[in-house]
Structure formats: structure tokens, C-alpha cells
Structure 1
Amino acid sequence: MIMVPIVSPSGEGTIGATIRGVIPTDPVCMEALSVAHASLPASILYHSLRVYLYATVFWERNDTSDEPVSPLRPVPAMIRNMFIACIFHDIGVSAAYDGNQERFEVTGADAAVNMMRRYGESEESMREVWLAISLHTSPGIAERLGGMARALRLAVRADFGSFPVPDLGNFHGEEWASAAGWELIDKELPRLDIEKDLGDAVVRAGLDRPEKAPPASWPGDLVRAKKEDPDWEGVNKAF
């Protein structure tokens, strides 16, 4: 029998004042942050916050390159929705959602929309958040879809090294520019064991409920790699 450690709830994932200063304070965002903090290990929580920092810049630039452009700054409602999408994009790996039959991307998208609906968010906003979360592991689709889906997908890629990390000073202010910004992220949002923790969480759920890891999907690739080498203890080879 293949065993994968259970990802336990965080509790230790503290968020400093500087990071909190760039998080929208709308009640829906505060609830989303609270849910993520209670449900996710620190490594995945910090990853989600780094993704938010990057995604807002990609949204503002409104392009897919690493060359600076001069688009209009997003309106606050769009930033709120972006935060929800980013903080919930991996919430589906939490043990709190083990009873759900959908793959973790769809589970997270559904959870975000259910929460947004309670706050009276528009159908358009909910659809955009749902698409962004559900497609964030779909290479070549999210990038072409544009908007929030593209921004979230590129931000995830940037955090895992397959796309250039944006200059945070372009959006979040001078204190985030150049080396100071990266030092701040390293200090307040350390990577910890994000690749291993996230991969193990997806595999754990997929082994328990195969419908969560369908063939030809990222979860399916991770489960297949684990089955091929069940004694491997490092980062999943398909990550």
C-alpha cells in the first residue's frame, strides 16, 4: 500500500504586517484568508500569498512577457477577486475537502464561488474566479484565456520557476522594488517545503479517491509517478 503523509492544518503560518498591508480588507477577503490559514500548512499558505503578489503585477501589465508595459491599474474589485482566486487556488488539497469527489482545482473553484455568493458577488466575478482557479494547472489554456486566468497561471509558474518573476515594485510600491522586495518575501513568506507538501497533498487525495486524479491531468501525473516509485521520499518526480 502506498502511503503519503497527510497535510495537517497550518496554525503556524504567521503573516506579518507588511504582507497584510497588501491584502484587501474586504470581509470576503478576510474570510478567505481565515479559511486558508486554518486549512493549509504554512508552505502552501505562503505560496498562495506569493502567487497573489505576482498575479496582481501580471494583471496590471496585461501581457505574457517580462517586458514592462503601461496598462491601466486594476480597479479595487478586481484586486479583491484576484486575492480570492489566489488564496483559494490550492485550498482543495486541504483535508477539510477530502469528502469532495472533484479534483482539487475544481474543489477550490467551487469553494471560492460558494463563499463569494454569500457576499452577493456578481455572476461575472464568480465565473472569472472559478475559471482562474479551475484552470491554473492547465498549461496553454489559462495563458491563452487571458484576464485573471492568465495572471494566476503565470504567477503559479513564476513561483515554481517556469516563468520570470515580475518586478513587484511596479505594483506594490517602492518597498517591494529590487532586492528589498525579494528579501522581504524570503523573510515573511519563506518557501519551506512547498513542492513536497503540495505534491504529497495532491497524491494523498488522489490515492484515497481516484476520481480526484483523472488521467491526463496534473493530479493524475503526480499519482502515477508515486505509484511507479512508491518508496521515493523526495519531491514528487512529476511535480
Structure 2
Amino acid sequence: MGNLKSIAGISIPDSIIANQATELLREHGTEFIYNHSLRVFLFSSLNGQRQQLKYDAELLYISSVFHDLGLTPHYSSPDLRFEVDGANAARDFLKSHGLPKESLQLVWDTIALHTTIGIAEHKEPEVALMYSGVGLDVMGEGYEHLSAANREEIISIFPRNDFKKNIIPTFFAGFEHKTETTFGNIKADVCAFMIPNFERKNFCNCILHSPWSE
């Protein structure tokens, strides 16, 4: 990121921990995921500013940096949701820096719940804000609150790179080897989009085929 200190009026955290997190994103992520993750931080922060919320900017930044690292080969597990892989990686990283248990849990929740519609927005400000930033970048939720000036400044520095075309295959590449982890969450839609005749696991079938006699 070089010497960028402030973008769209939002200060970029410049602590040792923040810089080390950024380096991990650069090392293990792609340019596409990097740009998305930084936009998520900025959009989340702008939403926090607009709503006059108090939040920890450094923890929000680290959460944003790690939120999609579970899609990358380095951090991806064989059998956990990619959101949990990213959350676990961030927690281990922060633990190695001696952060308190409360901070570890907050960042874990922020990342693990960032695709969980109907829950994340009711949690702590960091959790709710990053969820909102992801929603804005991926689906345009709250687009009407983003000024043209801020939008243009952010996208000039962190371009979208044909985002609509590339984000679905990027998601899919992160859990193609474990599509069962998408049961009960929105990433099952990605599998259905990418895999011809994809058969989703069905909750009602789980009930009807349980070992209970009635």
C-alpha cells in the first residue's frame, strides 16, 4: 500500500500488527482478494462514520484483511467453512501478538459471521460493520449511502477488476474441494451456479431420514 495514510477520509491502520496482517494478505492472497479486502475495510469504516459508531479500527482492519484468506490454499482446511478457516487464522495471528481474549473472540466472530445474514448485523459494531462492508462491495447493499467522490477515490486505488464476473469463481475455488460446507449458508448458491445439476443437502430430508422412528 506504500505511503497511503488516508483514503476517502478513512485512516489506514499503520501499526506493526496491521502491517504484518497486510503482508500476509499480499503473500497468500491474490490482487483481486487484496483489493476487495481493502475496499471492505473502507466501506465498513465509512458506514461506521455515517452511523457514528464506536469501533476498534485496527481490529476491523485485521478482520477485513483476513476475512477471505480462508479461500486461499495456504489457509484452507479440508473440512471447515472458509469463513471459519479465515477466523481461525486471524485468531492465531493475534494470539501470537499477545492480544486479549476478548479481541481474539471479536475478530473471530467478525470473520466467521461475515456471510451470516440475519445474525451479524445484530452483533458488536465491528461484526456488524464488516458485514455491511462486505454486503456493499459484493451485492451493492447500502450503495445509495456511498458518495460518488468516495466511491471513485476508493475504486481508483483498489480497482474492482471485473468484480461481478470474477467473484463467484473466486469464491468457488476456495471451497470446490468441500462443497458440503456450504449446507445451510449462502455459498450453496455459488455451488449451484458453478456446478451443473448440483444437489444441495436439504434440511427437510435430514429430518425425514433421521434415525428416529417418528
TM range (shorter): 0.7 to 0.9
* C-alpha distance in 1 between matches for 2:185 and 2:93: 26
Match of 2:65 among 87, 92, 97: 87
8 Å Cα contact 1:44-1:197 kept in structure 2? no
Matched, 1:55 2:44: yes
Picking from 12, 18, 32, the partner of 2:4 is 18
Question: 2:67 aligns to what SS in structure 1?
Answer: coil
Seen in structure 2, the aligned counterparts of structure 1 residues 219 and 196 have a Cα distance that, compared at 3 Å, is same
Cα distance in 2 for partners of 1:20, 1:95 equals: 31
Q: Count residues in correspondence.
A: 194
Letter in 2 for 1:181: N
Which of 117, 122, 126 is residue 95 of structure 2 equivalent to?
117
Greater length-normalized contact order (CA 8 Å, ≥ 6 residues apart): 1
| CA–CA separation in structure 2 for the residues paired with 1:206 and 1:73 | 34
Q: Structure 1 length as normaliser, TM-score? A: 0.72
Structure 1 residues 130 and 20, CA gap change in structure 2 (3 angstroms):
same
Q: SS of 2:161's equivalent?
A: coil
- Paired-residue identity, %: 28
Please say if residues 131 and 149 of structure 1, whose CA atoms lie closer than 8 Å, have aligned partners that are also in contact.
yes
Give SS of 1:32's match. helix
Q: Does 1:148 align with 2:130?
A: no
Quote the residue 1:133 is aligned against: 111
Q: Which runs of 5+ in 1 are unaligned?
A: 1-14, 63-70, 168-177, 231-239
Alpha carbons of structure 1 residues 105 and 98: separation in structure 2 relative to 1, 3 Å: closer
Determine if contact 1:54/1:166 at 8 Å carries over to the other structure.
no
Query: Which of 11, 26, 29 pairs up with 1:37?
Result: 26
Match of 1:164 in 2: 143
Counterpart-to-counterpart distance in 2, 1:124 and 1:98: 25
Match of 1:219 in 2: 187
2:169 matches 1:200: yes
Q: Evaluate the alpha carbon distance shift between residue 42 and residue 52 of structure 1 in structure 2; reply closer, same or farther with a 3 A threshold.
A: same
Change in Cα spacing, 1:85 to 1:106, as seen in structure 2 (3 Å) is same
Normalized against structure 2, the TM-score is what? 0.80
User: Contact 1:48 / 1:86 at 8 angstroms: preserved in 2?
Assistant: yes
Letter of the structure 2 residue corresponding to residue 116 of structure 1: L
1:188 CA displacement? 1.0
- AA paired with 1:222? V
| Residue 156 of structure 1: how far off its partner (Å) | 1.0
Distance 1:209 1:155 in 2: 26
Aligned-residue CA RMSD (Å): 2.4
The answer for the alignment partner of 2:206 in structure 1 is none
Shift of 1:52: 0.5
